[in-house]
Amino acid sequence: MSKYQSPKVNVNMSAAKGVAVAIVLLIIIGVVATASVKIVDSGHRGVLLHWSAVDLTQPPLDEGLHFVVPFQDEVVNIEVRTLKYASDARSASRDLQTVETTVTVNYHPDKEAVHRLYKNLGLDYENRVIQPAIEETVKQVTAKYNAEELITKRPLVKQDIEAAITERLNQFEVITDVISITDFEFSPLFAQAIESKVEAEQNALRAENDLRRIEVEARQTEANAVGLANANIAEAKGEAEAIAIINRALAENPNYLDWLKTQAWDGKLPLVVGEGGTPFIQIPVKP
């Protein structure tokens, strides 16, 4: 630079240097400020890291804005809302029937223990813990039951699988909300055998119900026959007693028969009268 350079040029260069320094300072301040502020998203908890090491001395950070030491601290977001994991497990029943089981687990990480979860398992804890827990639990539980019992005792099987998965995942700071067994699938041959057996049982039950119905109808018919016979006997006894009464009355009073005729007459005279006169009325005849 020439010693004869004008003062105006020197001023411009100084101003430019000042602007450059200010811009650098602003950038540095912005970077530091950005590194000092961490945000934990909604539905998440923050795991605080010091030089990439998990800080276990304080609880996980709540959702919101947090200030940390720049360039030293980092915050890892871990979702703590209810999540869903579905897995297909292949196992064998006690009678060595192949079973395909679909298990769905609704879960969430323990909100107060996500820092330990991250330290022990990282973010890929589903594949490290949940999937093996489902597969091993299904194998252990289904091995206790026959294939038919897996169908007839489904609530008990579900209860055993749920309890085992819950206990295992709780050891890794994972809390289960709902565990569902959405399907049990067997080999086509065994499924056909089960279907045939169910059909045979239904036919047997239908035949048993028909037999009971026939027995009830037979008893009803028998009861009706007995009732009718008793009625006929009672009627016969009544008629016999009536005849006996009439015979006694005739024996005691010969005119009783004429009295019966008058009771049976409808009060109308016949159009033709025979030799004996009108019924129940004897018309005198001159000698």
Q: Give percent of the chain above pLDDT 90.
A: 22
- Which are the contacts of 241, defined by CB distance < 8 A and separation ≥ 6? none
| Average pLDDT rounded to a whole number, residues 235-248 | 71
pLDDT tier, 114 (very low <50, low <70, confident <90, very high otherwise): very high
Give the ranges where 176-275 is alpha helix by DSSP (H): 188-252, 256-264
* 206 within 8 A of 199, measured Cβ to Cβ: no
| Residue 215, both tokens | 């027995």
Do residues 134 and 58 both lie within one domain? Answer: no
265 vs 40, residue with greater confidence: 40
Do 74 and 107 lie in a common domain? no
Rounded Cα gap, residues 107 and 81, in angstroms: 8
Q: Which residue has the higher pLDDT, 228 or 90?
A: 90
Mean pLDDT of the region 260-268: 61
Does 241 lie in the same domain as 163? no
Where does the pLDDT of residue 264 fall: very low under 50, low under 70, confident under 90, or very high at 90 and above?
low
Give the CA-trace dihedral at 223, 229, 234, 237, to 10 degrees. -160
Contact 39, 66 (CB under 8 A): yes
Alpha-carbon Rg for the chain in angstroms: 53
Residues of the domain holding 35: 27-79
Alpha helices in 37-146 (DSSP H): 114-121, 125, 131-142
pTM metric for this prediction: 0.57
> Is there a single domain that holds both residue 182 and residue 192?
no
Can you tell me the mean pLDDT for 166-195? 82
**Same domain, yes or no: 89 and 167:** yes
Average pLDDT over residues 18-41: 76
User: How many domains does the structure of the chain reveal?
Assistant: 3
